[in-house]
């Protein structure tokens, strides 16, 4: 009997235009609305993730500006206390959950297969599903905000204030169900990244040759898989308490307010690392391109990424130093919170050494990446200060921590992301962003950000508490808050310049070509934008810098990007072994499908039913969920899933 198609030995060939045309027909997404809802192309999904995350970034930014108007002067009444509370809570929810991780998922989604030499993510339909659930959960939570039932207990949502007796109304129910819903997206996305990493790397791309961005998203995904269940559980218990009178957090019946804090921060702190490690990876990969040399200390940086995440599981109690836990326990968490700075130091010195020993070419992307080192350091040392228990007893819940977390989130997430946009926009669109607007963009953001957030440290040290809708004059907060507000508007203008540049360059930007930055990694070996199939032939990789090998001359053999496995019997890519990336299997990749979208819609309907106690809707949605999954998973002959039939 002839071997089945998936068991054949794949032919090796050379990429050619004719051949590419055939592949394009196989991999193309249908144009128009049909393709929009059915595509599983990681590039389209990745860009969608980034655009959607930026929509949320702008919403969260506008919320911040309204708060900064309220806080610009003492004793203002622009907002009622309840409006302010919903604004700061929604701002936190938006930036942390709907912007910071999704934007990185977007970059990783777009870049991973291109960096790894694969034709798509390992589980393309799951990828599309992850996006649809993210959008649906975001809309779900924003519907609450729009009807005046946004979260009003901060993103951390402490009980008992979040419990029914103190917080009637639907705010907490929107937030609790929305977070459980969003957790589905994060979880399946994380699983997809893990499988993609371990199975779809190009032959020869052993685990010590993957870009640092991959290490970042890998560790973030592993962490998310472990910690998202904790927060989903916490929100589920809260919802049960509120709707069905369970007593998980009900003090009168022996419930424990601190249980919430443990569950939340066991999730919350690793999450912070999950939303910075991939961004740090972007800097580790982007910076060397502009320094014209490989990253100094690849192995220490990769290992420090993993070490940060592992230590990151052991620091959650530093959010709870003031809750009355015993000093001995606090000492351990204090130690972990201080020592976690060591792997960060590895990254900082690796970047600095790369700049110092390279020949920096100043571009907008480089400015964002290199300034991030300084912002990272400021956010890092202020974090180190909060790690010291007695100091944290003073710092915690003051504006010092607000300053700290914005240096972390804006400095280590947004700055690399904007740098990443300048760096990869040419790849995504085929056009360059304007460098002149870019300089204005960078300096306005950088100056505005520091005017807004450096003085905030001081207003915190002078004792301004967080989450207050106003403050009295004459106790040291007045002029500093005015400066902070002015800085925040300058910063907002900087972000606006980015949008202007993007919109303008989409039409009028210079044509980029395949590799405008002369960068070393595989995504730059294909056209800009890349064809739907990414690689006409699967590349073969022998180093970390496939496109720099001729100049580095570090070994005899060369990576091959124009000759390799053809894999053209329908949608195919190669599966390789987890560590050494030896070819292992032919992967039959699924066609486009409406089912990820349908499943997302069905789940949204189900959560709406739960929210409104429309149990009939929950039942209908449950049936729709089951049906979508069955259709999604129905065995397909082309994928070699029907036993005994050779396709």
Partner 1 sequence: MSVGLTAPALFAEAFATPAWADGKPLSYLHGFGAKAVPVVALTWGVIWISIVVVVIISALVVVGISRRRAPDPIEPVSAIPITRSGSAIGWLYWGVGVSTLALFGTLIWTVVVLADVNNPGVKPAVTIEIAGHQWWWSARYLSDDPSRVLTTANEIHIPVGQPIRVKLIGADVIHSFWVPALAGKTDTIPGQTNTTWIEADRPGRYMGQCTEYCGEQHAHMAFIVVAEPKSDFEKWQRAQLLPAKAPDTPEAMRGERSFEFHCGACHTVRGTDAGGTVAPDLTHLMSRETLAAGAVPNTVGNLAGWVANPQAVKPGTLMPTLYLAGSELSDIGAYLKTLN
Q: Which of 323, 329, 612, 636: binder of partner 1 (CB under 8 A)?
A: 323
Segment near partner 1 (CB under 8 A), from 127-135, 236-244, 316-324, 536-544? Answer: 316-324
Q: Provide, rounded to whole angstroms, the least separation between the CB of residue 77 and partner 1.
A: 6
Instruction: For partner 1, give the closer residue by CB, 193 or 366.
Output: 366
Does position 292 interact with partner 1 (CB under 8 A)? The reply is yes
Residue 348: count other Cβ atoms within 10 Å of its Cβ: 18
- Enumerate long-range contacts of 377-383, CB under 8 Å, 24 or more apart: 377/348, 378/407, 378/411, 378/454, 379/404, 379/405, 379/407, 379/408, 379/411, 379/412, 380/341, 380/344, 380/348, 382/407, 382/457, 383/337, 383/341, 383/408
Does position 258 interact with partner 1 (CB under 8 A)? The reply is yes
Of the candidates 97, 257, 67, 269, the residue with the CA atom closest to the CA atom of residue 176: 97
Segment near partner 1 (CB under 8 A), from 36-44, 125-133, 213-221, 326-334? Answer: 326-334
Does position 154 interact with partner 1 (CB under 8 A)? The reply is yes
Which residues contact residue 225 at a Cβ distance below 8 angstroms, ignoring those fewer than 6 apart? 187, 190, 191, 194
Q: Which of 93, 238, 350, 567: binder of partner 1 (CB under 8 A)?
A: 350
Q: Provide, rounded to whole angstroms, the least separation between the CB of residue 525 and partner 1.
A: 14
Q: Which of 26, 29, 394, 429: binder of partner 1 (CB under 8 A)?
A: 394
Within positions 272 to 291, which residues make up the interface with partner 1, using CB under 8 A?
289-290
Does position 373 interact with partner 1 (CB under 8 A)? The reply is yes
Draw the binding track, 414-453, toward partner 1 (x: CB under 8 A; -: no contact).
---------------------x------------------
Within positions 71 to 100, which residues make up the interface with partner 1, using CB under 8 A?
74-77, 80-82, 85
CA angle 114, 46, 224 (to 5 degrees): 95
Instruction: For partner 1, give the closer residue by CB, 42 or 318.
Output: 318
Does position 470 interact with partner 1 (CB under 8 A)? The reply is yes
Alpha-helical segments (H) within 536-614: 549-552, 595-612
Q: Provide, rounded to whole angstroms, the least separation between the CB of residue 360 and partner 1.
A: 5
Q: Which of 174, 423, 449, 469: binder of partner 1 (CB under 8 A)?
A: 469
Draw the binding track, 529-568, toward partner 1 (x: CB under 8 A; -: no contact).
-------------------x--xx-x--------------
Q: Using CB under 8 A, count the residues that bind partner 1.
A: 101
Within positions 213 to 252, which residues make up the interface with partner 1, using CB under 8 A?
251
Instruction: For partner 1, give the closer residue by CB, 226 or 454.
Output: 454
d(CA 512, CA 504): 15
Element (H, E) at 178: helix 171-199
Instruction: For partner 1, give the closer residue by CB, 230 or 296.
Output: 296
Q: What is the DSSP letter of 636?
A: -
Q: Provide, rounded to whole angstroms, the least separation between the CB of residue 208 and partner 1.
A: 16
Instruction: For partner 1, give the closer residue by CB, 148 or 635.
Output: 148
Instruction: For partner 1, give the closer residue by CB, 472 or 635.
Output: 472
Does position 341 interact with partner 1 (CB under 8 A)? The reply is yes
d(CA 371, CA 231): 33
Does position 586 interact with partner 1 (CB under 8 A)? The reply is no
Instruction: For partner 1, give the closer residue by CB, 93 or 601.
Output: 93
Instruction: For partner 1, give the closer residue by CB, 325 or 617.
Output: 325
Instruction: For partner 1, give the closer residue by CB, 148 or 390.
Output: 390
- Enumerate long-range contacts of 431-434, CB under 8 Å, 24 or more apart: 431/505, 431/506, 431/508, 431/509, 431/510, 431/511, 431/512, 432/505, 432/509, 432/510, 432/511, 432/512, 432/516, 433/364, 433/501, 433/502, 433/505, 433/509, 434/501, 434/504, 434/505, 434/509
Q: What share of the chain is helix, strand, coil (3-state, %, to 5)?
A: 65, 5, 30
Of the candidates 377, 372, 379, the residue with the CA atom closest to the CA atom of residue 404: 379
Does position 161 interact with partner 1 (CB under 8 A)? The reply is yes
HSE-up (13 A, CA, CB side) for residue 368: 31
The torsion angles phi and psi of 585, rounded to 5 degrees, stand at -145, 155
Query: If DSSP codes are grouped into helix, strand and coil, which group holds residue 560?
Result: strand
């Amino acid at each position: 009997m002839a071997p089945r198609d998936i068991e054949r030995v794949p032919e090796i060939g050379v990429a050619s235009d004719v051949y590419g045309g055939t592949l394009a027909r196989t991999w193309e997404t249908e144009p128009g609305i049909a393709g929009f809802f059915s595509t599983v192309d990681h590039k389209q999904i990745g860009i969608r993730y980034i655009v959607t995350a930026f929509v949320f970034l702008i919403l969260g930014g506008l919320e911040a500006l309204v708060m900064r108007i309220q806080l610009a002067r003492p004793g203002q009444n622009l907002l009622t206390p309840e409006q302010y509370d919903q604004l700061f809570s929604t701002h936190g929810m938006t930036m942390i959950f709907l912007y910071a991780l999704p934007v990185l998922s977007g970059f990783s989604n777009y870049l991973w297969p291109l960096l790894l030499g694969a034709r798509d993510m390992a589980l393309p339909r799951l990828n599309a599903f992850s996006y649809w659930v993210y959008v649906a959960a975001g809309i779900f939570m924003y519907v609450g905000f729009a009807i005046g039932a946004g979260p009003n207990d901060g993103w951390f949502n402490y009980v008992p204030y979040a419990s029914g007796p103190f917080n009637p109304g639907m705010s907490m129910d929107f937030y609790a169900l929305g977070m459980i819903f969003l957790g589905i997206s994060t979880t399946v996305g994380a699983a997809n990244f893990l499988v993609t990493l371990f199975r779809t790397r190009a032959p020869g791309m052993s685990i010590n040759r993957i870009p640092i961005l991959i290490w970042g998203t890998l560790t973030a995904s592993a962490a998310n898989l472990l910690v998202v269940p904790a927060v989903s559980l916490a929100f589920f218990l809260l919802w049960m308490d509120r709707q069905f009178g369970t007593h998980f957090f009900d003090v009168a019946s022996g419930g424990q307010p601190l249980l919430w804090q443990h569950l939340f921060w066991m999730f919350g702190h690793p999450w912070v690392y999950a939303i910075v490690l991939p961004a740090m990876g972007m800097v580790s990969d982007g910076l060397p391109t502009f320094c014209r040399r490989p990253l100094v200390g690849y192995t220490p940086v990769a290992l420090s990424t993993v070490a940060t995440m592992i230590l990151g599981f052991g620091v959650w109690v530093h959010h709870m130093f003031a809750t009355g836990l015993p000093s001995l326990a606090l000492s351990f968490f204090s130690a972990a919170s201080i020592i976690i700075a060591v792997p960060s130091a590895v990254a900082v010195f690796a970047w600095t050494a790369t700049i110092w020993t390279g020949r920096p070419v100043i571009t907008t992307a480089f400015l964002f990446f290199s300034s991030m080192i300084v912002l990272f350091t400021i956010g890092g040392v202020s974090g180190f200060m909060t790690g010291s228990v007695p100091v944290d007893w003073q710092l915690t819940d003051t504006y010092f921590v607000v300053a700290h977390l914005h240096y972390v989130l804006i400095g280590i997430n947004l700055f690399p992301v904007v740098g990443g946009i300048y760096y990869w926009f040419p790849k995504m669109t085929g056009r360059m962003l304007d460098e002149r607007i870019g300089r204005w963009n960078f300096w306005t953001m950088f100056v505005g950000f520091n005017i807004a957030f450096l003085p905030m440290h001081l207003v915190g040290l002078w004792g301004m508490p967080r989450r207050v809708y106003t403050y009295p004059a004459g106790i040291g907060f007045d002029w500093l808050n005015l400066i902070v507000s002015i800085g925040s508007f300058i910063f907002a203008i900087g972000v606006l310049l980015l949008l202007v540049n993007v919109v303008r360059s989409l039409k009028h930007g210079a044509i980029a070509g395949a590799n405008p930055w002369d960068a070393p990694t595989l995504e730059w070996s294909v056209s800009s934008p890349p064809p739907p199939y990414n690689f006409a032939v699967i590349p073969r990789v022998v180093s970390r810098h496939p496109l720099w090998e001729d100049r580095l001359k570090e070994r005899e053999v060369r990576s091959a990007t124009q000759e390799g496995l053809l894999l053209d019997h329908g949608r195919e890519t190669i599966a390789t072994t987890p560590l050494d990336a030896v070819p292992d299997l032919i992967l039959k990749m699924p066609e486009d499908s409406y089912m990820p979208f349908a499943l997302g819609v069905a789940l949204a309907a189900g959560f709406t039913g739960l929210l409104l106690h429309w149990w009939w809707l929950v039942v209908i949605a449950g049936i729709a969920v089951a049906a979508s999954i069955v259709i999604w998973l129905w065995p397909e002959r082309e994928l070699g899933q029907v036993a005994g039939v050779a396709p």
